[in-house]
Amino acid sequence: MPIDPTLPYDENNIFAKILRGEIPSHKVYEDEWSYAFEDINPQAPVHTLVIPKGPYVSWDDFSAKASAEEIAGFVRAVGHVARRMGLVEPGYRLLANIGRHGGQEVPHLHVHILAGQFIGPMVMAR
Ligand code: 5GP
């Protein structure tokens, strides 16, 4: 069920619980600003999620409220994970679903890294 983007940050969303260690996850990378882990329901041979550690619902929320350090840290973490996983040459797709029309289900900003095979057309045909 897509989230309502007008709601405030929910401290009990599943990724907040993962960040607090209340729910297990398969860690791929972690630094001061970001955490990366395997998606529980992979849509490609490689399906990693990268999230900022701060309480941000979406890209617009993050870009409006996060500090420059948090933003730089998160952007660098996504690139770091891609490089570390050897995805630069075969290539990969970044995807961030936001809000209702974006089909976002977890109300904590996350970037999907999809790779390991051709990921297909950019969007489904209408
Ligand atoms: P969204 O649709 O919000 O962009 O993507 C949410 C993603 O989170 C989905 O790909 C889903 O499989 C993943 N996900 C949902 N719950 C969990 C969980 O408990 N653990 C992990 N690792 N991934 C989850």
Q: Which domains does the chain carry? A: 14-115 (3.30.428.10)
- At residue 80 the predicted structure's pLDDT band, cuts being 50, 70 and 90, is very high
Residue 55: pLDDT band by 50, 70, 90 thresholds?
very high
| CA 39 to ligand 1 centroid distance, Å | 6
Contact 100, 2 (CB under 8 A): yes
**Ligand 1 pocket member 28 (CB < 6 A):** no
Report whether residue 106 contacts ligand 1, using a CB cutoff of 6 Å: yes
| Of the candidates 100, 101, 97, 99, the residue with the CA atom closest to the CA atom of residue 111 | 97
Residue nearest to atom 12 of ligand 1 (CA): 41
- pLDDT tens string 8-39: 899 999 999 999 999 999 999 999 999 999 99
Confidence of residue 114 (pLDDT cuts 50, 70, 90): very high
Ligand 1 atom with the smallest distance to the CA of 38 is: 22
With residues binned 3-state (H G I as helix, E B as strand, rest as coil), the percentages for the chain, rounded to 5, are 25, 20, 55
The pTM of the full predicted model, rounded to 2 decimals, is 0.95
> Tokens representing 43?
């849509």
User: pLDDT band at residue 6, thresholds of 50, 70 and 90?
Assistant: low
